[in-house]
Homo-oligomer: A and B are copies of this chain.
Amino acid sequence: MTENPVPTHSVPERHGRLGILMPGLGAVSSTLIAGVIAARNGSVAPIGSLSQMGRIQADPADPASDKPLIRDFVPLAHLDDLVFGGWDPISANALEAAQVANVLQGPDLAAISSELEGVVAMDAVFDQRWVSRLEGVRVKDLTSKWDQAMALMDDIERFRSENACDRLVMVWCGSTEAYSEPTEVHMSLDAFEQGLKDNDDSIAPSQIYGYAALQSGVPFCNGAPNLTLDFPGMVELAETRGVPICGKDFKTGQTLMKTLIAPGLKSRQLGLNGWFSTNILGNRDGEVLDAPENFKTKEVSKLGVLGSILEPEANPELYGDIEHEVRINYYKPRGDNKEGWDAIDIFGWLGYEMQIKIDFLCRDSILAAPLVLDMALFMDLAAQRGESGIQEWMSFYFKAPQFEEGSVTEHDLFAQERMLHAKLREFAG
């Protein structure tokens, strides 16, 4: 492990147990748990986690200023103080989830199998109409959405007391739901609660988890592109209850690259004719997205990024006519190793065309797992500092960052990183 230089500022104290609750105990969550166990053992560093490995320049105006580790700069929960829980409609526990996901190599999995087995999945709130390609078997036997919400709140409290948690955070690690837009029932908290009672068709399972979390005072992070909390009723609840929220859709492989490269093209005033992105993946995520209604949700999330970075209105000659296409293909041989192939068609001086091709042989859950850790720790800190409602500074982690209505969404990875650092400095005082 890195030897850190002696910090020149007082290291923050951190104490108390933090429970991380994950709807969806699948590839991402089991990989997260496995990696935290390994990091605790000291067998491998928590690579990919900004909260654990990242540094921050104490004084942004002075490049020569101290650059402490973020975890020495703000009082984040310790890895040793984390407890994991979750719900899943298919897997009985994190070990089973890890075995199905097939992300971890045999020996890596074997070393921690009993610890993983101990993370037992609670029965899920699940509705196949929202995820047509999955069959739920470990599902709550309740048909009323209101009753489902109450049952989840009971689950939360039981988990809290059984695990002696001081604080909780919820991170959605479940599937992408079918595409939907907000309806009347989403326009206010009252309408939403009435909808729960009326079993309104337009309320998706993830929204019920979100409601239960917020009502229980638990911060919520949305790792999928689902609506979930992205509507007035839920924002109202977050603000009323004084709970921070953030989302949507972990920014990992292909979109991560896109939000690196697009700002670079723009900084050099290189024009863009088109960007064709295809993905092949063979995990449960790929299977779910093979259904057009679920792909639509993901597509909207993935397509948004170029516009806000390139600002076609301000740069019509360069970005006024971009053909941006995204495809996701279920292809079994790839397993969890998502492969993203991008064909980028740019033009420069005298209008001459050039091409960039990117083949990213990535691992979906390996990239997503540390984001779950970071967002849990940062949102826990935000809650302790009294933040509530949408946390725009968390946009660094998301494909389709949730912003306040009226705000301009920021997609540039580096601008997002500066926002995050600024907030951490604010928290550090």
Interface: A99 (CB within 8 A) = no
Interface: A278 (CB within 8 A) = yes
Tell me if B46 and A349 are in contact (CB < 8 A).
yes
Q: Within 8 Å CB of A348, what residues of B?
A: 47-48, 363, 366-367, 370
Interface: A429 (CB within 8 A) = no
State which of A83-91, A119-127, A185-193, A321-329 sits at the interface with chain B.
Answer: A321-329
Q: Within 8 Å CB of A362, what residues of B?
A: 354, 356
Q: For A54, give the chain B residue with the smallest CB separation.
A: B269
Chain A, 338-380, contact with B by CB distance < 8 Å: what is the 0/1 string?
A: 0101010101111110111111111100110110000000000
**Which of B256, B317, B370 interacts with A45 by CB under 8 Å?**
B317
Interface: A280 (CB within 8 A) = yes
Chain A, 44-72, contact with B by CB distance < 8 Å: what is the 0/1 string?
A: 11111110111100000001000100000
Among A318, A334, A350, find the residue whose CB has the most chain B CB atoms closer than 10 A.
A350
Tell me if A314 and B354 are in contact (CB < 8 A).
no
Q: Within 8 Å CB of A53, what residues of B?
A: 269, 315, 317-318
Interface: A385 (CB within 8 A) = no
Tell me if B329 and A323 are in contact (CB < 8 A).
no
**Which of B269, B273, B316, B350 interacts with A104 by CB under 8 Å?**
B350
Interface: A332 (CB within 8 A) = yes
Interface: A97 (CB within 8 A) = no
Interface: A276 (CB within 8 A) = yes
Tell me if A106 and B104 are in contact (CB < 8 A).
no
- Interface size (A, Cβ < 8 Å)? 82
State which of A31-39, A134-142, A163-171, A240-248 sits at the interface with chain B.
Answer: A31-39
Tell me if A331 and B417 are in contact (CB < 8 A).
no
Q: How far is the CB of A175 from chain B (nearest CB, A)?
A: 21
Bound-state Cα–Cα, A260 to B264, Å: 6
The dominant DSSP class at the A interface is mixed
Interface: A183 (CB within 8 A) = no
**Which of B67, B314, B334, B367 interacts with A55 by CB under 8 Å?**
B314
Interface: A108 (CB within 8 A) = yes
Tell me if B264 and A44 are in contact (CB < 8 A).
no
Q: For A368, give the chain B residue with the smallest CB separation.
A: B349
**Which of B263, B350, B357 interacts with A366 by CB under 8 Å?**
B350
Given A327-B278, A360-B356, A417-B267, check contact A350 B256 (CB 8 Å).
no
Tell me if A366 and B341 are in contact (CB < 8 A).
no
Chain A, 247-274, contact with B by CB distance < 8 Å: what is the 0/1 string?
A: 0000000001100110110011111011
Tell me if A256 and B278 are in contact (CB < 8 A).
no
Given A260-B260, A331-B276, check contact A269 B50 (CB 8 Å).
yes
> Can you report 27 residue pairs joining A to B where beta carbons are below 8 Å apart?
A2-B317, A45-B351, A47-B318, A47-B347, A48-B348, A54-B269, A104-B350, A106-B107, A257-B264, A260-B261, A260-B264, A264-B413, A273-B333, A274-B332, A278-B327, A323-B331, A323-B332, A323-B333, A325-B331, A339-B343, A341-B343, A352-B363, A354-B360, A354-B366, A356-B360, A356-B361, A414-B414
